[in-house]
Amino acid sequence: MRDSMGAYTGSLFAIDGWKYVDYTNPLFKTGEYPFQSFVDLWKMGLVPSFDGKLWRLHGGKDAKVLWEGTL
């Protein structure tokens, strides 16, 4: 959860290039926020988490696990 909170906070700043983002990877474009997908989930009331094996998507007042799986 800490990483997704950082991703949301980072979206508040206009930065052209992020230090640890590999812009040679076609998934990332210069001038675009590389963690926007986390921000979109956050704004929908969803928080992703990862324990090293499984991804989980939490939501609601009690942060119930709504989805669990691998990507």
Tens digits of residue pLDDT in 22-51: 989 998 888 888 888 888 998 899 999 999
Domain total for the chain?
1
pLDDT over 90 at 71, yes or no? no
Helix (H), strand (E) at residue 36: helix 36-43
Please state the pTM of the whole predicted model: 0.65
Domain containing residue 30: 2-69
List the beta bridge partners of residue 65: 58
